Amino acid sequence: MIINKNDIKSIIKKYQVNQREALILLSVIKNITYTDVFFLKEIELTEEELSSYNEYLKRRSKKEPIAKIIGFKEFYGISFKTTKDTLDPRPDTETLIDAVLNTYKNKESELKILDLGCGTGCLGLTLLTLYEKSICDFVDISQSAIDVAKCNATKLNILSRSSFVQSNWFEKVDSKYDLIVSNPPYISKNFKLDKDTLYDPSIALFADNDGISEYETILKNVHKFLKPNSYIFLEIGFDQYEKIKKINTDLEFVRFYKDLNNINRCAVFYAR
């Protein structure tokens, strides 16, 4: 079946999805780039492809995130598998990668890394692609998330430098690390999220004590798992930086890093 621009506009109108998102979904169906789809005057779809396209648009009309529909999300230039069991990688989280690169400037370093609460594994796996002599342990309370991270490690051909442990934070961790990265749950349970975000697992989103409880757990215990002269990099919420600095920890606060919106997004602590 051949469909043209007007056909696509009619489909978009039916599902009330914006054009850019509709064309992204169409590009995935046809396995071509968004740019190619944008400039095509017409495109051929099989009955199966048209059925899939309508299903994708129907799901998006219910505010299901595109990443959840197509099953992957780009992070730091890398495509990561994501599912209903994992938090979708987000641009804000890339701030942690920039912070690590600014701290560990020698990419030949042989680092032992911990990705704590790894989800898709996007933080630790991205660091392994940048520091090719390093290794990383991936920890998550969810075995389903661990399975997704392992799948992403396999796809990136770095499974041999990756280890996976199902654990509630440090419960089953028994090593010391040169650096730890973590994007813990930090949203207050009283905060009303948009419908897109609610497709992420609640266990990866919400925390007690106005969103601070998981930081308290991590920062009060992490010194036992850091080598001397090492760092932990934490993603934080937009209004939490003052509270984070006041948490009682054996570590030394270093600095905050801002995201592209000029919001304090990454907190860095140092272990002497």
14, pLDDT greater than 90: yes
11, pLDDT greater than 90: no
Give me the pLDDT at residue 107, please.
Answer: 97
Q: Residue 148's closest CA among 211, 80, 203, 247?
A: 80
Give me the pLDDT at residue 1, please.
Answer: 86
User: Would you state the structure tokens that stand for residue 103, as one six-digit string?
Assistant: 């701290």
Give me the pLDDT at residue 229, please.
Answer: 97
79, pLDDT greater than 90: yes
Give me the pLDDT at residue 5, please.
Answer: 82
Contact 237, 264 (CB under 8 A): no
For residues 102-130, average pLDDT? 98
Q: What is the pLDDT of residues 129-145, one digit of tens each?
A: 999 999 999 999 999 99
Q: What is the pLDDT of residues 189-248, one digit of tens each?
A: 888 888 888 899 999 999 999 999 999 999 999 999 999 999 999 999 999 999 999 999
Give me the pLDDT at residue 193, please.
Answer: 85
Architecture of the 70-271 domain = 3-Layer(aba) Sandwich (3.40)
Q: What is the pLDDT of residues 254-269, one digit of tens each?
A: 999 999 999 999 999 9
Between CA 213 and CA 222, with CA 248 as vertex, the angle to 5 degrees is 75
Contact 62, 81 (CB under 8 A): no
Per DSSP, the residues of the chain read -EEEHHHHHHHHHHHT--HHHHHHHHHHHHTS-HHHHHH-SEEE--HHHHHHHHHHHHHHHTT--HHHHHTEEEETTEEEE--TTSPPP-GGGHHHHHHHHHH---TT---EEEEET-TT-HHHHHHHHHSTT-EEEEEES-HHHHHHHHHHHHHTT-GGGEEEEE-STTTT----EEEEEE----EETTPPPPTTGGGS-GGGTEEHHHHTHHHHHHHHHGGGGEEEEEEEEEE--TT-HHHHHTS--SSEEEEEEE-TTS-EEEEEEEE-
Give me the pLDDT at residue 53, please.
Answer: 94
Distances in Å between the Cα of 94 and the Cα atoms of 56, 129, 196 are: 27, 14, 20
Q: Percent of the chain having pLDDT more than 70?
A: 100
Q: Percent of the chain having pLDDT more than 90?
A: 91
Contact 61, 15 (CB under 8 A): yes
Q: What is the CA radius of gyration of the chain?
A: 21
Rounded to whole angstroms, the Cα distance separating 88 from 74 reads 9
9, pLDDT greater than 90: no
- Domain layout of the chain by residue ranges: 2-62, 70-271
162, pLDDT greater than 90: yes
Which residues have CB under 8 Å from 132's CB, separation 6+? 107
Give me the pLDDT at residue 165, please.
Answer: 98
Give me the pLDDT at residue 195, please.
Answer: 81
Contact 151, 138 (CB under 8 A): no
* pLDDT band per the 50, 70, 90 thresholds, residue 40: confident
